[in-house]
Structure 1
């Protein structure tokens, strides 16, 4: 079988009896022209979905899949199965069939779905297990479980479920008393210290999905020793609110085979490449670190609603290049209508896929993305919905963690990062946002602050104070200043330094910024203020960015509206320069990209050197790459792998010294990428492994 280091999995929709006679030959041609490795054949998909399909309906798809599988095998290409529904994405005006004795999902308001089912329903579990067992008999490469395998987002339900009678019995049994849905939810969402009902909700929800996963995984394994089961997942901050245990869920579905996940790429429609990278770093990269390390990852390349009006070929290529830091086995590709319309040759995606494949293969073959990551350690926990405090207690969205802020901000400003699931670190620069610190006890946090340089945004600093641990950051008390309430209008440099050619440089802090934390520092704390906040009358109103005792940066902004975006006002050259100054002073053991907004670095440590993968999320080209290093660590040369040259092969570059850093004479066009492989000091001239 064909086995490229980077696998293209093409998701193929065909309407049996309508256009299969034309589209199956077209598929075989597409496989050749786009360099496809695996074809995931849809069943009962989207616009031609008939609800929870009957086994007679499945027979039609099984016959078509057998035919496709045999034809693909002649080309050395594998086949997978993309069964489009499990619980069901949405009702969409359909209902359960009379013979389908499935228990409907019930939402937070008591509304009962017409088609979407409770995942704990025994009758449905038997049904879905049989569907998957019959597919498994075809011996496909991967059997995909769609991203409707979740509790949230099942229109027209409010948020999701499940609050059916059977689930309410489970919640009541664990609470030790009969509970109404309203009473239970009031406890789940109770402001302040989590009520015991919160843990009951998350535990039962977790067990519910594991039960359904077990039904699928075991059925597949009984029918096939080899077929893998892949999970299509959504945003991790939302899955957190339904108690997802990523490791247990992936292993339960895998049933003894390697776990497989289709990580969500947050860009169904084209937007600015810089905004896309915010979402990628805050959603896709966070999902990756929550998966078992051995998981085969094939992220979701999709251009819904399926045409060049949704996404250009160039932006689609940009998604391929920018996805590589996920450490991929390949990617799933969903580019054409799911209504049986067939492959649209005129869109020309196939030529772009073919041209891009050699670079994806070359970098995957190098193993660079499996290396140890280097950068600011951004703290996260998959268990944060168990520990965070809600404010109002009025919606399930209050259970969504906001821990990925720095993963969105830092790379946009030229700072590499790496997620860290534990604060047990030493000698690192560590960033905390949201309420992530609530996941660890006082002793653990004391070691974190004693052994590392820590960056806190406003939410994290406030959380630390609410935990009674403000002293760890030299903080006595805090209070929120609300954006646009007149308390502050801009941030101004106060340390006497010149940044970006401006003394006393200013950055706006209104309209599209955020709330800011007014911090009172403890008596005796050494406060090194970089900036302060001022109102419209030029009156100083609060500290801005402050380094405390040489070991904590308080970055006062927070209270963000979204878990997956960065307030645009926080992104400017003055704030980038201040951040770089703080990190260099703190002894950052990694390079910083100077200037060049959205030239985003992913850094990896290699025996004998350093690898830096740069993705240009700006619509401006970068004429060269300037990297700041700690004194004595700048390289003299680099091996350069450009994404935009015809041959996927390295070229040598001599670095020009600039201060303690270097200027690498390599251009990075907009939405393209470059890998720089640099030797360690004293190892010049050695070839990267």
Structure 2
């Protein structure tokens, strides 16, 4: 045993570079301080009333990783009886731009939990309450989207915490009652987000144990917070469906960001490199640290600062007028991040985009695609995600087309789904007897006709559209083959902040 001060513990936990052994001990202590009182609470509640059930209210999974949370042990402590009740965080508290508010935090929470579940996300409307926090339309949209990832209901917080009750919520009851039949019809499908198709976003609930704190980071626990949702937020805006995975999968592309890879051993990394792996800048740096540059087609790299390059842009090197409408489509680079990595590609690597100065001089590859000796394909990108003005600068029609074309090129048989030409949020989930397709319009524009591109084989079963009364109707959607994959066309208007649901029967 050793007597230490609080400051000594903090300095050790947050030491730059490879984690100090004390960090694991500290996180284990925190794990115990959650599990033990949770178990005692459950026992006390059961003694008082055996029919009372406990539910878990949670926040952001990357924050809970900093607490040493063991999700499955916490579930066991609180009890299932017969399903585990959870109220995951459903941002935002106050209405903002819907296209930048996908429910990836909610979905990552659900991914961390073992089944069976009763899922009732937090539909917050505070602190001002009523339409001064969120419009009725926005509130309803969150309910409409919640069933796409398996929610069984919703937890509604409609009070202003000042004793006024629901007096400020006039009209909400009518708005929330209108889609009830539709929501119930989707819930009956038994959707489980563990069966979500599309791209796979890799995560680890234990990432805070392995994260390397930056020498320049503040000496606070927030230095251990990972950005596990970087790619999921980006994919949602790009109109590409996805699901979260805890281990490598071989049937679809795997996206990894920030320092998530530090939580995985060499065997798991090799498994990832054997499939299709998409890396942001920190992930590329980690793979080179581990001596795997030869597996990703990057010989070396160094840091770069975009702000030193005036108004830098990114150009698609293999663009064609047939695909993009332009021979050399360009996208903003300077607003996407302050820092980039300058990658030196291997001779047989394919440079798909190039960062350039305003004078059109080459700076560095923006995207490298490399097929390695394991038979896998690795996509390396120059940006970290979510920094600077990322959500202003990164997204446009060319980046959407670039990513969608690339994924269907690399994974033609995967069960991908993408919204063509328009930034709709899309879901594709396997059911016991077919597939579910969910579409959300997060923009303020009416979509007169919806076009979806899907990977895999053209289905033989019928496609049904859910109407506003909760009935599944045939003949409202059509499917046709494409050179790669197939597409669904729905000639029905999709209003702003509304949803469309399709069912493909086996």
TM-score (norm 2): 0.91
Asked whether 1:182 is paired with 2:4, we answer no
CA change 1:517–1:648 in 2 (3 A) is same
Instruction: Report the Cα offset of residue 596 of structure 1.
Output: 4.3
Q: Which runs of 5+ in 1 are unaligned?
A: 1-175, 679-687
Q: 1:7 is matched with which residue?
A: none
Q: 2:153 is matched with which residue?
A: 330
In the TM superposition, what are the counterparts of 1:265-276 in structure 2 within 5 Å? 265-276=90-101
Are the equivalent residues in 2 in contact too, given 1:573–1:595 (CA < 8 A)? no
Where 1:484 maps in the other structure, the secondary structure is helix
Q: Distance in 2 between matches of 1:601 and 1:559?
A: 21
Q: Distance in 2 between matches of 1:670 and 1:183?
A: 54
In the TM superposition, what are the counterparts of 1:186-585 in structure 2 within 5 Å? 186-254=11-79, 258-277=83-102, 280-281=103-104, 283-305=105-127, 306-344=129-167, 347-369=170-192, 372-392=195-215, 393=217, 394-423=219-248, 425-450=249-274, 452-486=275-309, 489-498=312-321, 499-513=323-337, 515-523=339-347, 526-549=348-371, 551-558=377-384, 560-561=386-387, 567-585=391-409
Are the equivalent residues in 2 in contact too, given 1:202–1:242 (CA < 8 A)? yes
Q: Distance in 2 between matches of 1:672 and 1:370?
A: 20
Q: Distance in 1 between matches of 2:197 and 2:446?
A: 25
Q: Distance in 2 between matches of 1:363 and 1:501?
A: 38
Are the equivalent residues in 2 in contact too, given 1:656–1:664 (CA < 8 A)? no
Instruction: Report the Cα offset of residue 601 of structure 1.
Output: 0.9
CA change 1:462–1:298 in 2 (3 A) is same
The alignment covers a number of residue pairs equal to 493
Where 2:379 maps in the other structure, the secondary structure is strand
Are the equivalent residues in 2 in contact too, given 1:513–1:568 (CA < 8 A)? no
Q: Distance in 2 between matches of 1:446 and 1:521?
A: 20
Instruction: Report the Cα offset of residue 374 of structure 1.
Output: 0.9
CA change 1:293–1:446 in 2 (3 A) is same
Instruction: Give deviations 1:393-445, integer Å, cap 9, x for gaps.
Output: 5221110111211111112212111100012x223211111111111211221
Q: Distance in 1 between matches of 2:80 and 2:350?
A: 55
Q: Give the alignment partner of residue 666 of structure 1, picking from 489, 492, 495.
A: 492
Q: Distance in 2 between matches of 1:632 and 1:311?
A: 41
Q: Distance in 2 between matches of 1:346 and 1:265?
A: 19
Instruction: Report the Cα offset of residue 609 of structure 1.
Output: 3.6
Q: Distance in 2 between matches of 1:223 and 1:608?
A: 43
In the TM superposition, what are the counterparts of 1:34-49 in structure 2 within 5 Å? none
Q: Distance in 2 between matches of 1:667 and 1:255?
A: 42
Asked whether 1:628 is paired with 2:453, we answer yes
CA change 1:255–1:274 in 2 (3 A) is closer
Q: Distance in 1 between matches of 2:63 and 2:503?
A: 37
Q: Distance in 2 between matches of 1:504 and 1:455?
A: 23
Where 1:228 maps in the other structure, the secondary structure is coil
Q: Distance in 2 between matches of 1:349 and 1:211?
A: 40
Are the equivalent residues in 2 in contact too, given 1:371–1:605 (CA < 8 A)? no
Instruction: Give deviations 1:144-175, integer Å, cap 9, x for gaps.
Output: xxxxxxxxxxxxxxxxxxxxxxxxxxxxxxxx
Instruction: Give deviations 1:464-509, integer Å, cap 9, x for gaps.
Output: 1122222321222222222312277110011243343111100011
Instruction: Report the Cα offset of residue 391 of structure 1.
Output: 0.5
Are the equivalent residues in 1 in contact too, given 2:302–2:342 (CA < 8 A)? yes
In the TM superposition, what are the counterparts of 1:43-192 in structure 2 within 5 Å? 176-192=1-17
> Where do 4+ consecutive residues of structure 1 move more than 4 Å?
634-637
Where 1:401 maps in the other structure, the secondary structure is coil
Q: 1:605 is matched with which residue?
A: 430
Instruction: Report the Cα offset of residue 212 of structure 1.
Output: 2.0
Instruction: Report the Cα offset of residue 514 of structure 1.
Output: 5.0
Where 1:323 maps in the other structure, the secondary structure is helix
Instruction: Give deviations 1:575-611, integer Å, cap 9, x for gaps.
Output: 1111111111112423433434431111112356432
Q: Distance in 1 between matches of 2:250 and 2:416?
A: 19
Where 1:541 maps in the other structure, the secondary structure is strand
Are the equivalent residues in 1 in contact too, given 2:87–2:120 (CA < 8 A)? yes
CA change 1:608–1:329 in 2 (3 A) is closer
Instruction: Report the Cα offset of residue 622 of structure 1.
Output: 1.5
Are the equivalent residues in 1 in contact too, given 2:83–2:117 (CA < 8 A)? yes
CA change 1:657–1:325 in 2 (3 A) is closer
Q: 1:56 is matched with which residue?
A: none
CA change 1:656–1:212 in 2 (3 A) is closer
Instruction: Report the Cα offset of residue 566 of structure 1.
Output: 5.5
Of structures 1 and 2, the larger Rg is shown by 1
Where 1:503 maps in the other structure, the secondary structure is coil
Q: Distance in 1 between matches of 2:242 and 2:188?
A: 23
